[in-house]
């Protein structure tokens, strides 16, 4: 390629190959989910995630009576995840008997206490499911 052709091609390639330089930033919202076991029994927790998260069944071996345990976290671009964005179902079992004592299927956002931990539009939100003996089925 001669010098004249290169002087013609270089500006064209540079103008086509370089973007506008504009970087688009989309904020990420995140959530942490907790079980506050205020019942008189240790509980085992199982849940199924939404299709966006792989529709996987997961769980926590034991949440002793009187303790709070983080179950899982989630994040998404442009939204603060809610329990219904993360879970399809959630079931609690007594660890001593193995009996099912509580179930949400489908999961209901209003059953969880939500607290914003960040003042930004999309930030960290804690969602806590508080369970007492009177909540057992």
pLDDT 10s digits, 11-25: 555 555 555 556 556
54 DSSP assignment = T
pTM over 0.85: no
Residues written for the chain: 137
Q: What is the pLDDT of residue 35?
A: 97
Residue 44: name the closest of 89, 96, 7, 4 by CA: 96
Q: Which two tokens stand for residue 88?
A: 């399809």
What is the spatial distance between Cα 52 and Cα 89, in angstroms, rounded to a whole number?
A: 14
Provide the greatest CA pair distance for the chain. Answer: 86
Task: Please give the Cα distance from 90 to 57 (Å, whole number).
Answer: 10
d(CA 94, CA 136): 10
Q: What is the DSSP secondary-structure string of 63-123?
A: E-TTEEEEEEEEEEETS---HHHHEEEEEEEETTT--EEEEESS--GGGSEEEE---SSS-
Mean pLDDT, residues 70-95 taken together: 92
**Model confidence at 68: pLDDT above 60:** yes
């Amino acid at each position: 390629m001669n010098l004249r052709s290169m002087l013609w091609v270089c500006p064209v390639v540079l103008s086509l190959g370089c973007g506008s330089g504009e970087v688009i930033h989309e904020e990420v919202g995140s959530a942490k989910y907790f079980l506050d076991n205020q019942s008189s029994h240790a509980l085992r927790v199982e849940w199924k995630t939404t299709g966006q998260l792989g529709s996987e069944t997961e769980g926590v071996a034991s949440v002793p009576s009187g303790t709070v345990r983080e179950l899982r976290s989630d994040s998404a671009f442009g939204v603060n995840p809610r329990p219904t964005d993360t879970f399809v179902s959630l079931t609690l079992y007594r660890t001593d008997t193995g009996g099912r004592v509580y179930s949400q299927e489908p999961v209901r956002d209003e059953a969880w206490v939500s607290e914003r931990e960040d003042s930004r539009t999309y930030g960290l939100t804690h969602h806590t499911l508080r369970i007492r003996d009177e909540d057992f089925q």
